[in-house]
Amino acid sequence: MRLVQELGVEIGERRCGTPAAERAAEAVAGAFRDAGLDPRFDEFELIGYETEEPELWVEGERWTAGPCMYSPPTPEGGVEGRIARLGTDIWTEGFFEVPVFTITDEGREVGRVRGNPFDGGAIPFLVSHGHILGSPEVFVSTTDSKRLDEMPRAHARLRVEGRFVPGRRDRNVIAELPGASKETVVVCAHYDSVWRGPGTIDNATGVEGVRRIAERLVGRQLPRTVLFAAWAAEEIGLQGSRWFVEEADIRGELGRIVGVVNLDCIGHGDALELMVGPPELRGRAVQLVHQLGLGNRYELRVFPPVSGTDHYWFAQNKIPAISILHFPYPEYHLPTEEIELVDERLLEDAVELALALVESQLARPVQKVS
C-alpha cells in the first residue's frame, strides 16, 4: 500500500495549497514514474483557507464543532442567539440528508449549525453554498444534531475564526498512457485531505488504487488512450478536477474523453457505492459487480452522478462517468482515519471493479448522452 503509507502516514494532513500538498503531489508523481508513466503537473491558483478550532456553546455547554471550509468568520467574540431547525439539505435522498439549524438574533441570522449526515463526529466540511457565501457555519456530530432537534429555541454562542488566503497554488498530477486511438478514458482520484485529517481512507486509498491500475495497464497494447490523474483541491469543492475539465473544454480536448472511472474512499466503509451515469454505464457497472462476486460481499448502493466526488464535472459535460466508493464510515474526515482501518480486500475489490470498467470502456465506450 505504497501511497496509503506515503500520503496517509508519512505526510498526513495535506490541505490544498500547502507545502504538505506539494509533497503529496511529488509522492504521487514518483509512484507514477515507478509504474512506467511520465507524469506532469497541471498547476492553478486558488484562494486558500486557514481556520482555528471553532467554538459552539449551547445553553452554556461547550459542544465539539468542526469547521466549515470557507465559512466567513464571526465578529470578534463570536455571535449568539436562539437556535432552531431550519430544514434539511438533501445531498442524496434517502441516505445523506444534512439537518441544518439557524442561530438568529432579533430575527436576523447570525450563524448556522449543520449535522454530520454520515453518522459520525463533528467533521470539517465545505460550506453548503460554496466559497465565501452564507453565514458563519460549523458542523456537529450526528448525535448532537439529534440533541438540537430536542432543544428548540436553545441559546447558542458561536465563534468561527477563518481566514481567506489568496494567491496559493496547487497542482493536479497527470500521466498519459497512449493507445491506438486518441479517444481517452480517465482513471482518477484526489490526493488532498481536510483540516486535521490524515486522509488515509479519503483519499490515499483511491490514489493507491489508481497506481495499481496503472501498473496493470502499462506495457499493454491498448485500443484507446488512458489518462491517469490525481486531483488537487477536491475537499474544497472539487476544484482540481473542475480546473482540468474547464481547461480541456477551452482547448477543444474535452471531446476526446469517452469515459471516467474515479476512486474515492475505497479501503474502509459499510457499503459499495456507485455514483454513475448514464444508464448504459450504470448497467455495465452493476453487471460487473455481480460477475466479480462483489454483490455477495457488500451491500450495493447505486446513485446517479451527483456532486460529491471528482467524476461530477465530467458527468455535467455529458461524459459517461462513475465514482466507486466504500462508504460511509464513522471516522470520515476525522483524525481517527488511520492506516489500521484500511482493509486490503475492500481496496483490491474496488480496484478490480475499476479495472474491469476501464477495460470495458477501452474496448467499447458507452455512448455519450446528448
Contact between 172 and 229 under an 8 Å Cβ cutoff? The reply is: yes
Blockwise average pLDDT, block size 10, the chain, 370 residues: 97 96 98 98 94 96 95 94 93 78 96 92 81 85 96 96 92 98 98 96 98 98 98 94 98 97 96 96 98 96 92 97 96 95 98 98 90
Interior angle at CA 333, CA 328 and CA 334, nearest 5:
115
Domains and CATH numbers, the chain: 2-49+166-363 (3.40.630.10), 53-160 (3.50.30.30)
Q: What is the pLDDT of residue 128?
A: 65
What φ, ψ does residue 298 adopt, rounded to 5°? -135, 150
Gap between the Cα atoms of 281 and 60, Å rounded: 52
Distance (Å, whole) CA 30 – CA 308? 28
* pLDDT value of residue 95: 67
Q: How far apart are CA 66 and CA 63, in angstroms?
A: 10
Q: What is the pLDDT of residue 89?
A: 86
| The model's pTM | 0.95
Structure confidence at residue 133 (pLDDT): 73
Please report the pLDDT score of residue 132 as a whole number.
65
The per-residue pLDDT for 131 is: 62
CA separation for the pair 228, 337 (Å, rounded): 25
Question: What does the DSSP assignment read for 109-141?
Answer: EEEEEEE-TTSSS---EE-TT-TT-SS-EEEE-
Residue with cell 452564507: 134
What length is written for the chain? Answer: 370
